[in-house]
Amino acid sequence: MLLFFYSCFLYLLQPWIWLIFWRRCRRNVLYRQFWRERIGLQFLSKSDVWVHCVSLGEAKVIIPTLLALFDQYPSLIFYVTCSSPSARALIEKKLGHHVSFGYLPFDFYFCMRRFIEQLQPKICLIVEREWWPNMLGILERKKIPVVLCNARLSESSLRQYYPWRWFMRSVLSAFTEVLVQAQQDKKRLEKLGIPSTRMLVTGSVKYDLEIEKAVIDEAISWRNQWVDRPVWVAGSVHASEFNAILSVHQKLLQKHENALLVIAPRHPERFELCAKRIELKNLKMAKRSLKNHVHDSIQVLLVDTIGELLLFYGTADVVFIGGSLVEYGGHNPIEAAALSVPCLIGPYHENFVEICAKLHEKKGLSYIGDAIELYQHVLFYFTTPEVARNHGVAGLDVVTANQGATLVQYNTIASYLAEL
Beta strands at 231-237 and 260-265: parallel, antiparallel or unpaired: parallel
> What kind and span of H or E run contains 299?
none
What is the DSSP secondary-structure string of 320-382?
EESSTTTTT-----HHHHTTT--EEE-S--GGGHHHHHHHHHTTSEEE--SHHHHHHHHHHHH
| Helix ranges restricted to H, 208-285 | 213-225, 242-255, 271-280
What is the DSSP secondary-structure string of 173-213?
TT-SEEEESSHHHHHHHHHTT--GGGEEE---GGG-----H
Catalytic residue IDs: 58
Give 125's DSSP letter. Answer: E
Closest CA to 360 of 322, 321, 404: 321
Q: How far apart are CA 328 and CA 383, in angstroms?
A: 31
CB 39 within 8 A of CB 111: yes
Diameter of the chain by CA atoms?
A: 66
Please tell me the chain's helix, strand, coil percentages from 3-state DSSP, rounded to the nearest 5: 55, 15, 30
128: alpha, beta or left? (left if phi > 0; alpha if psi -120 to 50): left
Give 290's DSSP letter. Answer: G
Q: How far apart are CA 107 and CA 7, in angstroms?
A: 9
Q: How far apart are CA 247 and CA 202, in angstroms?
A: 41
b/e 49-84 (16+ beta carbons within 10 angstroms → b): bbbbbbbbbbbbbbbbbbebbeeebeeebbbbbbbb
> What kind and span of H or E run contains 285?
strand 285-287
Q: How far apart are CA 88 and CA 288, in angstroms?
A: 22
CB 234 within 8 A of CB 262: yes
